[in-house]
Structure 1
């Protein structure tokens, strides 16, 4: 009886999500048709929406949020959660509830950090090219747009918002502020602040970019030295995070009846649940410690 009621509730939820997805797709198609007819284009300034935080996370990782598939993915997650609860009870349902968002967050964070590290490494070379363009008589905005256009990936993809917004009429300091706010990277914030000061009070843009290149290179060198000095600490954190999972997998492979006896007992379920919660908390804490160094 409980299972049938649960399945009926899940069906109602999926039906409601399907209707919402259809309405969203119809409205989006109509809006795109109107924009295409009018030939309008809007600057890609960072703004909050229903999925703003998730969209920013995907953009920082160099990915595009599949907004037209969010309803399907959410419905699949609900179906997986229901199936896990029906098969393994509330404990397996809790694991299915927590594990997918946690894995997605860790993958996006890892990819964004790796991408931003390459962006910072390529930024001084692009600024040096901008300095050469300034020496030929170009303005700072034109030189920066040209430098972004010829920059390699992932720097070109990260700063393409600046190029597009400047071409659409947004001021250069506002466009750089938008990108710095999106990626939350200190080097980009320093660049945006320097360009803002130069735009407001004037001065030599060539000297400004030269100083920025020196600062960025020094920060990158110090970051490399810090990563080399803390390599043993980071490796220890990885081992501590993986060791409990590896031990549980080994016990399950060698003696599965040991864990199954705990799984079928109420007190054993509480112990396994406590261990899972502690493992999640410990993994998140170690992950944040790794990000801080």
Structure 2
């Protein structure tokens, strides 16, 4: 645990787990990934009795837990972003009623559903453990990784340091976010077909290779014989990844 926590990759993995709200340490998750890889590798070898099948199944078992975490992480961050308008509405209403910011955040943690309630409850817990308000909110930004939240936290921190009417500032930010979310929704609808096409085209060669490795390992093994033939799968994988990245860049429009 100390070895992983002291490395950049360990801290990045811990952040990913926190963003996905997976309640386990990095070493525990690594053990689960390795166990999944070993189990699927043994199953693949038992079915086909070929090392290529075992390696392909083990690779799937190793990557699968990380894919599940990334999927949950992305879904959770998006859900939090969708709740920002409700968060701001509650905070502005509470501030206008004469309550302090921490009281408003406590109201958010009690009134809204996850993940907003979980994240703001964690913010309040960190403040209770001795972190400053700015540090706890900056930790929230690091976990959720949204530009809109960064804007809100920056406004709150500046208001906390120099003073001012925070409720008016947050109300203006709310209006800006509503318009931005509306535009993002329109853009997302218009680019849905292109994004789905990029996912299908990128996943199809990989899935087909895995299926062939399980059904006919001898055929796939020919692509990994010594010599120039090994350049074929390397070039195919490079082209697949490059095409996916380019397609995603073309469909990503900043608002």
Q: Please state which band the TM-score falls in when normalised by the shorter chain.
A: 0.7 to 0.9
- Structure 1 residues 289 and 111: alpha-carbon distance in aligned structure 2, compared to 1, 3 A threshold: farther
- CA 1:264–1:237 in structure 2 vs 1: closer, same or farther (change >3 Å)? closer
Unaligned runs of 5+ in 2: none
Determine if the alignment matches structure 1 residue 63 to structure 2 residue 25. Answer: no
Query: Structure 1: how far apart are the matches of 2:119 and 2:186?
Result: 25
User: TM-score by structure 1 length?
Assistant: 0.67
Give the Cα separation in 2 of the matches to 1:108 and 1:280. Answer: 25
| CA drift at 1:82 | 7.5
Question: Partners of 1:112 and 1:144 in 2: how far apart?
Answer: 23
Q: Which residue of 2 aligns with 1:286?
A: 244
Cα offsets for 1:123-153 (capped at 9, x unmatched): 2112211112112211122222222232211
Whether the 8 Å contact between 2:95 and 2:104 is mirrored in structure 1 is yes
Q: Within 5 Å, which residues of 2 pair with 1:1-293? A: 49=6, 51-66=10-25, 69-70=28-29, 72-73=31-32, 76=35, 79-80=38-39, 83=42, 87-89=49-51, 91-92=52-53, 94-96=55-57, 98-245=59-206, 247=208, 259-263=216-220, 265=222, 274-275=232-233, 278-279=236-237, 282=240, 286=244, 290=248, 293=252
- Matches of 1:74 and 1:107 in 2, distance apart? 11
Name the CA shift for 1:246/1:170 in 2 (closer, same or farther; >3 Å): closer
1:203 is paired with a residue of what secondary structure? coil
Q: Which moved more, 1:141-150 or 1:124-133?
A: 141-150
Q: CA deviation at 1:225?
A: 1.6
How many aligned positions are there? 243
Larger radius of gyration: 1
What is the Cα-based RMSD across aligned positions, in Å? 3.8
**In structure 1, how many angstroms separate the alpha carbons of the residues matched to 2:178 and 2:32?**
42
- DSSP-derived class of the 1:218 partner: helix
- Aligned partners of 1:66, 1:150: CA distance in 2, in Å? 29
3-state SS, counterpart of residue 75 of structure 2: helix
Of 196-205 and 63-72, deviating more is 63-72
Q: Mark the runs of 5 or more structure 1 residues left unpaired by the alignment.
A: 1-23, 28-47
In 2, Cα distance between equivalents of 1:108 and 1:159: 21
CA–CA distance in 2 between the matches of 1:95 and 1:280? 18
Deviations 1:28-73 (A, max 9, x none): xxxxxxxxxxxxxxxxxxxx54532222112212222255744743
